[in-house]
Amino acid sequence: MASDEERAALLVAGIARSLNERLVSLTADITSVLYAEIPDLRADRQLFDLLGASVEGNLDTIFHTLQHNIAPEDLDAPAAAMEYARRLAQHGVPVNALVRAYRLGQTNLLGLVFDELRAASVQPELSVPVLERIITVMSVYIDRVSQQVVAVYERERERWLAHRSSVRAVRVQEILAGNALPDAGAALGYVLQQSHLAAIFWSSDSDSGEMLARIESAAHDFANYVGGVTEPLFVAADRVTGWVWIPLGSRAHPERAQGEMCDFLERRHPGLVVALGAAAAGIDGFRQSHGQAQRARAVAIAAGQNAPAVTAYDEPGVSTVALLVEDLVATRAWVRGVLRGLAADNENSARLRETVRVYLAHNLSNVAAGKELDLHHNSVKYRVKRAAEVRGKDFTGDRLAVELALLVCQWLGPAVLTSD
């Protein structure tokens, strides 16, 4: 007959196994709580995905430690947790936000453990040993790992501050904040009284130690391609992101179209992504174009794999969609409410959405829509009728909402669609 200690160990393993089976959903829930409760973690939307990877890595380690009775004193922080700490340091996020994230995550995880314990109907005499084992493992692990990530944070913060161009970064931040000194342009070696095209370059590959150098090189290459009259101004935002201002002199537009820029980037610098503002003049234009590039970047990040290599703020639809990505959860719910069955993420629905989008853009003309889509007008008519059936209503009563929802789907794709 098994001893109480052996029975308790089996119960601990069962609880850990049950929680690990829900790893994806638990990760999403805890990540959302941390993002909502700790404002400093919202420094950059791109960091949200890395936060999720960090949470998932920590949960997975804790669950396996409990399930296989591993000593928590021997464990190290997951790679994603280490990288997240480095990235927070690069963005200047206070270290106490990182520590609080671990404490808040532990509190939420403990609540899940209590739920599992109640559901398992554990005998009263085993409740204390089971809880003691779980709480001990969690506490030792969190204490050990939080010390490790804080140490990584502090080393990275020192390295980052030591290696970045501090004078240039400070001057740029002063300009963006509206506090530029009269000689700001001279300090930067960049002419402010001209037309600027702001760009943000980044990569999802955080493994390469040479990534920032690669991004800066690509920024110079890209600037020359689109018609920069002198060398661009480059400032590192973090180890995989660069802020760039391309000097256009007196020109109001770059020399290349968005499609040409995409082809160039994919051919010469695969793996890098760019968001562009609209060209604007003077010191106000320096700030304005950068702000637009930030909003275009938010659209590209929300779109994920659906985003092109270059997302330009002045491309039709981008500025509108940029207003809706701040609250992607609400936008997703709204799109699904407007389009209903048409919001399904499959080829047939995508074909119907595109037909309706072109049909509405041509003021309900089957003939004009057919010419753009290379379809017979009767085929357009059939698809529009079928789309209305899938949606459950026609498109004339709330046409503006439908057109906007279709625009959001066109740019964000799976991020706002319903999985089959």
Q: Residue 192 is part of a domain; what is its CATH number?
A: 3.30.70
Residue 166, pLDDT > 70, answer: no
Give the range of the structural domain holding residue 349, as residue numbers without chain letter.
Answer: 328-415
Q: Please check whether residue 407 lies inside any domain of the structure.
A: yes
Instruction: Mention every residue, 6+ apart, whose C-beta is less than 8 A from residue 230.
Output: 191, 247
pLDDT of residue 4: 65
Span 91-136, pLDDT tens digits:
888 899 999 999 999 999 999 888 888 877 767 777 788 888 888 9
Query: Residue 194 domain-assigned?
Result: yes
Cβ count near 92 (within 10 Å) = 12
Least confident of 210-214, 290-294, 388-392: 210-214
Do 20 and 146 share a domain, yes or no? yes
Query: Is residue 56 exposed (0-12), middle (13-18) or buried (19+ Cβ within 10 Å)?
Result: buried
Encoded tokens for 2: 């098994």
Residue 303 resides in a domain: yes
The candidate with the shortest Cα–Cα distance to 149, out of 205, 104, 82, is 82
State whether 136 and 114 are in the same domain. Answer: yes
Residue with tokens 């057109």: 403
Q: How many domains does the chain have?
A: 3
Count of CB atoms situated within 10 Å of the CB of 416: 26
Q: DSSP E strands: which ranges in 70-186?
A: none
Say if residue 284 is in the same domain as residue 348: no
pLDDT higher than 60, residue 207: no
148 and 172 co-located in one domain:
no
Q: Give CA angle at 157 (154, 162), nearest 5°.
A: 130
Whether residue 17 is contained in a domain is answered as yes
Whether 10 and 148 share a structural domain:
yes
Strand ranges for 206-313 from DSSP E: 233-238, 241-249, 272-276, 280-281, 310-312
CA 169-171-174 angle, to 5 degrees, is 110
* Per-residue model confidence (pLDDT) at position 183: 74
CB atoms closer than 10 angstroms to residue 98: 23
Answer yes or no: is pLDDT of 1 > 60. Answer: no
Domain-located, residue 420: no
Tell whether 283 and 214 lie within a shared domain: yes
Mark which of 117, 145, 163 sits at the end of a domain.
163
pLDDT single digits (tens) 247-279: 999 999 999 999 999 999 999 999 999 999 999
**In a shared domain, residues 8 and 147:** yes
Q: Are strands 280-281 and 195-203 parallel, antiparallel or unpaired?
A: antiparallel
Q: Are residues 52 and 100 in the same domain?
A: yes
Residue 198 sits in the same domain as residue 304: yes
Q: What is the DSSP letter of 417?
A: S
**pLDDT in the model for residue 117:** 81
Q: Are 38 and 100 in contact (CB under 8 A)?
A: yes
**CATH assignment of the domain containing 52:** 1.10.490
Q: Does residue 295 form part of some domain?
A: yes
DSSP β-ladder status, 233-238 and 241-249: antiparallel
For residue 300, the model assigns a pLDDT of: 94
As given in the structure block, the two tokens for residue 14 are 């069962």
Give the pLDDT band (50/70/90) at residue 159: confident
pLDDT for 206 equals 56
- Domain CATH for 379: 1.10.10.2840
What are 367's two structure tokens? Answer: 């003939």
